[in-house]
Structure 1
Amino acid sequence: MSRRGVAIALACAALAAAGSWLWLDLMERVWRPAQRIHPESVSNPMLAASRLLERHGRKVLAYKQLGDVDLRAIPDGMLVLADNTGQMNDAQAAQLLAWVARGNTLLAQPHWSGLPGLRGLPVPVGEPPQRATGGRNPLRQLAEPDPIGAHLGVSLSYRSKLRAGCETDAMPPLPPEEEDQEEDQDEDGDAPAAIPVDSQGPRQLTCVTLPGGAYPLTLETGGEVLTSGPKARQALWSDVDGMAVRVHAEGKGHLVLLSDNYFNNYRLGRRDHAELLLGLAALNPRAPRVLIVRDLSAVPWYAALWRAAHLFLGALAVLLSLAWWRAARRHGPLLPEPATERRALLEHIEASGNWLWRARGGREVLLAAARQETLALLRRRAPELERLGDAEKAARLARLCGLEEIALREALFGPAAAQAAAFTRQIQTLQHIRKRYERH
């Protein structure tokens, strides 16, 4: 083959290779993994925990706020307060403690007892206080009551030094992309568009052994720790240093205090957090129900008032509406000044009738005048009726005029009616008789 033929063959091969590469790169469909967040997981940080508990035979009820739960009728089982933002009043705490004392389990996080940098707790170098506290506002939490933490004498604080746990070495730092995703997480713990990764500065591992467990469970911890007050109660069991998990006895039940929420969508799959959740749910094996409450925020006062007395408030609103309607009928624009010219004769007659109606004996005067005029007309037009008695005269007139005998007897011989409607019927009956005989 000549050199020219070889060059043409090589050019054709290169062209075919380039065409094949372009086809495979641009035209062929291939499957590529894409990691996305389910919208339900974004709106519900405890979705993974709910699915895990349901898969292990638990019946899960989820609520957004503690005020949405009827604390007087909580089913037996376990109640998880997923976040300690908001507040719990003393009445709610008393109902929850009574419920726990019957043999149930309550998981909660105490509120903060101090700010980073105060009370001898230095802030780590390069660590902003807002991030060191896990995105929550310590100033707000200092102002919020914590009846459960006060009941046990335990609060939440921050320690910059690593604690003695399963491993004394801190975990390696997060990759840069995960670090960026973590900073995008908002203050309420909801997920942003990217997958967030929880971190609270230096992290380490701690261990906790469940009662009857064959091996210790490993947990990831950060700078938030449980701190005992002067009158703190002794825990039944806890992690190795008592700063991450404490389980206290309350009557026949258990109060579990956690330094952080290990069971949200972003931390449940790490280490042994899922197994810890199942172990705590098994503390009350006879009750399979689990209630998960996202926030402590109490309902507004008007919502609580409506829930407690909606029947009374509804009746009060109806009464006030009727009273306003009755009063509104007596008010309105000012009437124009009456004309000064002389009024018509009918107005004088109407005014006289109204005055007689209200005066004592006035109705008898009005009825007697109409009755006298009617009887005078009957004497002129039907003199034969004068020889009849009252009963026979009433029966004859009722038959001739097409009226009821009782109504005609009341109009001719009865007393004046006290009710306006009955009195009007008497006058109308007498007027009907006059019209009947005036036409003849």
Structure 2
Amino acid sequence: MAALGVLCVAVFAAWWLHSFERVERRQPLPPAGEASYNPLYALRLALRADGVDATSRQRLDLAAHPPGPLDTVLLLGDANTLAPREVDALLAWVDGGGHLLVSTPRGRRVAAAPAAALLPRLGIELRAGGGCERLHLPGQDPHVEFCGGTRFIPRGVDPELAWGDFAAGFVFARLRRGDGVVDVLAAHDFLENGALDEAPHAALTRQLLDRNYGRGTIHLVYAASMPALWRLLLERGWMAWAPLLLALVAWLWMRLQRFGPVLPSPPQQRRSLLEHVQASGEHLRRYGHAALLHAAVRDAFLDRLRRRDPLAAALDGGARAEAIAARTGLAAADIEHALRAPRPRDGNDFRQRVARLIDMRRRL
């Protein structure tokens, strides 16, 4: 039995070694550290490896980090969110020989940028739509760029270099200002981590940075300025707040007071004992129990008669009717008729007998 087990194990091991092969595979891990929040981290490392002085930061902060006349500043965020004083200082630095790279804002904007913003100051007018642009490199497969970018049109300025046309819009334009230049692109995504390792992206990046390459410091600003919270919610959060707003409007409409004719006030609850007694009597009469009501009125009359005239109350039949007639002044026949039970289902007879009993009781 043990020999059979050893044989099975040996057969399984031989089959396993024959059917499977040990291989190594590299599994890329998600970025960690600065690479997880700095989209220009790979570009900074590549520039430093090439001997170029490069720094990266989240804010432009010209007061703390003033660029030199031969430096390059790359703004990865929305350039239209810069403060007017920063725009003035940045353009003054460009006039002195600086090289500025900016991109148009991503996505469709609800409101136009103010006239004091950077792109309007440069004469850049945004355009909607547009497709991709082809990029050909020797020895490389056909490539396309700027597919999701926002194209633009330069107004009142003649670009030194341009990529695109006035019909479909431009994806790149180099604008001269004084001794420096400003490069405007429809997108900067080819400069970010994970895209820079492609040969077309690396070649395009090298061409864009060529003007002051190796002559000064390259400042990589990946968050030029954060727009106001209400603007972010209005432009990018509408898919969340618009349905909530519609739901709120529908809820308010459901609970809105309707306008129309004036309705009467709802009747208040009544607690009068007389009304309850009257309602009970109406209920008994409606369901054929009028004899009970007549008997109650007759008993009330006889109780008073016993108190006022015991002798007449002790009599019976016609003698009692005569005695009551002598005391009340009514006809004996009417008194005898009122003391008898009413005919069933005869409302008039019931009312006449009860009315006569009440009159007789009042006359005692």
TM-score, structure 2 as length reference: 0.51
CA RMSD after TM alignment: 3.8
Determine the structure 2 residue equivalent to 1:101: 95
Q: SS where residue 83 of structure 1 aligns?
A: coil
Q: Which protein shows a greater Rg?
A: 2
Shift of 1:20: 4.4
Determine the structure 2 residue equivalent to 1:235: 159
> Which of 33, 46, 71 does residue 26 from structure 2 map onto?
33
Shift of 1:269: 2.8
Alignment deviations for residues 81-134 of structure 1 (CA, whole Å, 9 cap, x no partner): 01217711221111111111111210001347xxxxxxxxxxxxxxxxxxxx3x
Q: SS where residue 225 of structure 2 aligns?
A: coil
Alignment deviations for residues 44-101 of structure 1 (CA, whole Å, 9 cap, x no partner): 11111111211222111111022x3427832231000012177112211111111111
User: Which one-letter code corresponds to 1:259 in the other structure?
Assistant: A
Q: Is the 8 A contact 2:62 2:86 kept in 1?
A: no
1:83–1:299 Cα change, 3 Å: closer
1:286–1:36 Cα change, 3 Å: closer
1:143–1:284 Cα change, 3 Å: closer
1:227–1:73 Cα change, 3 Å: closer
> Which of 183, 206, 219 does residue 134 from structure 2 map onto?
206
User: Which one-letter code corresponds to 2:161 in the other structure?
Assistant: W
Determine the structure 2 residue equivalent to 1:73: 66
Q: How does 1:263-412 map to 2 (within 5 A)?
A: 263-285=191-213, 287-297=215-225
Determine the structure 1 residue equivalent to 2:178: 251
User: Bigger relative contact order, structure 1 or 2, given CA contacts below 8 A and separation 6+?
Assistant: 1
TM-score, structure 1 as length reference: 0.43
Structure 2 spans left out of the alignment, 5+ residues: 229-364
User: Which one-letter code corresponds to 1:268 in the other structure?
Assistant: L
Alignment deviations for residues 265-306 of structure 1 (CA, whole Å, 9 cap, x no partner): 133233522222222222024623100111121699xxxxxx
Q: SS where residue 118 of structure 2 aligns?
A: helix
Q: Is the 8 A contact 1:236 1:247 kept in 2?
A: yes
CA distance in 1, matches of 2:114, 2:223: 13
Q: Is the 8 A contact 2:56 2:219 kept in 1?
A: yes
> Which of 222, 230, 235 does residue 147 from structure 2 map onto?
222
1:32–1:85 Cα change, 3 Å: same
1:218–1:30 Cα change, 3 Å: closer
Determine the structure 1 residue equivalent to 2:303: none
CA distance in 1, matches of 2:54, 2:100: 14
Alignment deviations for residues 189-218 of structure 1 (CA, whole Å, 9 cap, x no partner): xxxxxxxxxxxxxxx443499xxx9x9x96
> Which of 46, 51, 61 does residue 40 from structure 2 map onto?
46
Q: Is the 8 A contact 1:248 1:255 kept in 2?
A: yes
> Which of 114, 125, 135 does residue 155 from structure 1 map onto?
125
Determine the structure 2 residue equivalent to 1:178: none
CA distance in 1, matches of 2:22, 2:86: 58
User: Which one-letter code corresponds to 2:158 in the other structure?
Assistant: Q
Matched, 1:138 2:66: no
User: Which one-letter code corresponds to 1:246 in the other structure?
Assistant: A
Structure 1 spans left out of the alignment, 5+ residues: 1-7, 113-132, 163-203, 301-440
1:295–1:84 Cα change, 3 Å: same
User: Which one-letter code corresponds to 2:71 in the other structure?
Assistant: G
Percent same amino acid among aligned pairs? 20
User: Which one-letter code corresponds to 2:109 in the other structure?
Assistant: P
1:154–1:49 Cα change, 3 Å: same
Q: Is the 8 A contact 1:154 1:226 kept in 2?
A: no
Q: SS where residue 25 of structure 2 aligns?
A: coil
